[in-house]
Chain A
Amino acid sequence: SQQGEEDPQALSIQEGENATMNCSYKTSINNLQWYRQNSGRGLVHLILIRSNEREKHSGRLRVTLDTSKKSSSLLITASRAADTASYFCAEQAAGNKLTFGGGTRVLVKP
């Protein structure tokens, strides 16, 4: 899992399939955020889930948060070739800084 490890580190799927990746964290968080990085580009904010939320949706994205297990998951439904990227979770605790995980590289094959 992320926050040191990512689960999985890499994922290869066919277009139209769903992609699920997991993230674990260690501290008490204010929120957890997911970002995407396309090759050679910057980090794009995808979704933020607060510590008192359990699930959140944004388009084809679904994020869950389990604070008892200190884990989160990101599900991309009906994947497209354009979803090929690295995905990172980042925890935001008491301060403002983000603590990132190692990322999951997702390859969506057309």
Chain B
Amino acid sequence: EAGVTQFPSHSVIEKGQTVTLRCDPISGHDNLYWYRRVMGKEIKFLLHFVKESKQDESGMPNNRFLAERTGGTYSTLKVQPAELEDSGVYFCASSQHTTGQHRYTFGSGTRLTVV
């Protein structure tokens, strides 16, 4: 099966610009997650979709971040306007089961650099 795909793999933008990251989960996976790792820090949870609904968005840092998953398939994460501290690697993951013990499949990440 195809894995989780993220696009772009790298993005360099100027402070104040807008960037949109995309994640295509494994087909049939209802659960989609966004995580990020800013430089030198831990991998932090951003939010969790179940199909097209936001199940948990407690990790979203502020209202400059907007995540969508229209139709319950792929998801986008938009940062507008981007700030320097948004630089880092953004990971997407998907999983099939909603509860219990299940493993996640992560994408390769998008490395975002804000200059």
Interface residues of A (CB under 8 A from B): 4, 30-31, 33, 35, 40-45, 48, 50, 88, 90, 92, 95-103
Q: A4-B42, A42-B106 are in contact. Are A96 and B48 (CB under 8 A)?
A: yes
Shortest C-beta distance, A65 to chain B (Å), equals 13
B105 interfacial contact with A, CB 8 Å:
yes
Query: What residues of chain B lie closer than 8 Å to A41, measured between beta carbons?
Result: 108-109
Which of A96, A100, A102 has the most chain B CB atoms inside 10 A of its CB?
A: A96
CB 8 Å contact bits of B22-55 with A (1 = contact, 0 = none): 0000000001010100000111110010000001
In contact, A42 and B107 (Cβ under 8 angstroms):
yes
Interface residues of B (CB under 8 A from A): 4, 6, 31, 33, 35, 41-45, 48, 55-56, 59, 91, 93, 95, 98-101, 103-109, 111
Partner of A50, one of B4, B59, B101: B101
In the bound complex, how far is the Cα of B104 from the Cα of A88, in angstroms? Answer: 14
In the bound complex, how far is the Cα of B42 from the Cα of A96, in angstroms? Answer: 18
In the bound complex, how far is the Cα of B9 from the Cα of A40, in angstroms? Answer: 9
In contact, A96 and B99 (Cβ under 8 angstroms):
yes
Shortest C-beta distance, B111 to chain A (Å), equals 8
Query: What residues of chain A lie closer than 8 Å to B99, measured between beta carbons?
Result: 96
